[in-house]
Copies of this chain bind each other. A is one copy, B any other.
Amino acid sequence: MINRQWRLARRPHGMVTAADFERRDEPVPIVDLDAGEILLRTVMLGFDPAQRGWMDDVPGYMPPIAIGEPVRGSSINQVVASRNPAYPEGALVRGLYGWQDYAVACRAGEEPPSLVPTGVTPEQALGLFGGASFTAYVGIRDVGAVRAGDTVVVSGAAGAVGSVALQVARLSGARVIGIAGGTEKCGWLVDEYGADAAIDYRAENVEERLKALCPDGIDLFFDNVGGTILEAAIANLAWFGRIVLCGGVSGYNAEAPVPGPRNLMELVTRRGTMRGFILLDHLDRIAAASADLTSWTASGELRYRTDIQQGFENIPDTFLRLFSGANRGKQLLRLTPD
């Protein structure tokens, strides 16, 4: 039994490429299982732009991925051998076991994985009920404190976080405007996700369009992009407007730090607030988020797209789809036929 791995070969410089990863195979470490440990086989992987940040040698809320380490990433894994009664063979778990076929979990001192609830598919566990959705939910509801009647603008609105953020805002009574790249994705925003308007940042002047669409200003801006998109939103912020910083995909692959918005002092004039957050501080809200997402999906009020690629050899290229905008919804990859 062979454990195929995609390891981080070197720190990406600028735009991440397939050459930043190397394929290595090693024996499956099954003989090493200690009491309490389990052996996992990877069923499905989830991809997130934040993984790009973990590849830089910069300390953050998680340590950087080490050179030579299998790339860390969201995964659904099946228990294939178990010395832990809480994790019977055949059970599905969710973790960060990354780009490899097999992993040992429940090692002493390690965070154990969470079991995937019965009836939830791997696709759902990594997608609709994955970290990106919960991030969107707490970002709009808790950090952004959305109010009915707010004008809410979401950047990266066709992505896994943005599409849910847009819909949670709409379902909270807000008027919602999404920013995305290309006419196809802008079409989804209006037709599938119920946005009141969409802005195509590739074809339109975002600042001018925001001005036209938000004559009374933006009450809440949920940002996944940063850079000039953030600057355009600040220029159109309502008095006492809030900006929730979720991510900055425009800068993740930059060779040098990208200049920030030139108009930050508008936050003084407009009495604006800008706040960064990560999901880890809001885990107590996941139950409420799950309940709402379940209910909205059942009623048809919330729509969700996944883009499922196939095959171990395609893992690096699938990751790169996030940065070219090729992904059509939450980016996943299936490793096993089940």
Contacts and interface: CB of A to CB of B under 8 A. Distances in A.
Interface of A: 60-61, 226, 230-231, 245-248, 251, 257-278, 281
A281 to B, nearest CB: 6
B260 A269 contact: no
A154 to B, nearest CB: 16
Contact of A248 (B265, B270, B274): B265
B267 A275 contact: yes
25 contacts: A60-B269, A226-B264, A231-B260, A245-B264, A245-B268, A246-B268, A247-B268, A248-B264, A248-B268, A251-B265, A257-B262, A259-B260, A259-B262, A260-B260, A260-B261, A260-B263, A261-B264, A268-B277, A268-B278, A269-B278, A271-B276, A271-B278, A272-B276, A273-B273, A273-B274
Contacts of A272: 275-276
A62 to B, nearest CB: 9
Given A248-B268, A268-B276, A273-B276, 18 more contacts: A60-B269, A61-B269, A226-B265, A230-B264, A231-B260, A245-B264, A247-B265, A247-B268, A257-B263, A259-B259, A259-B260, A260-B262, A260-B263, A264-B274, A266-B276, A268-B278, A273-B275, A274-B275
Contacts of A270: 276
A246 B264 CA distance: 11
A259 B259 CA distance: 5
Closest 4 CB pairs of A and B: A260-B260, A267-B276, A259-B259, A257-B262
Contacts of A261: 260, 264
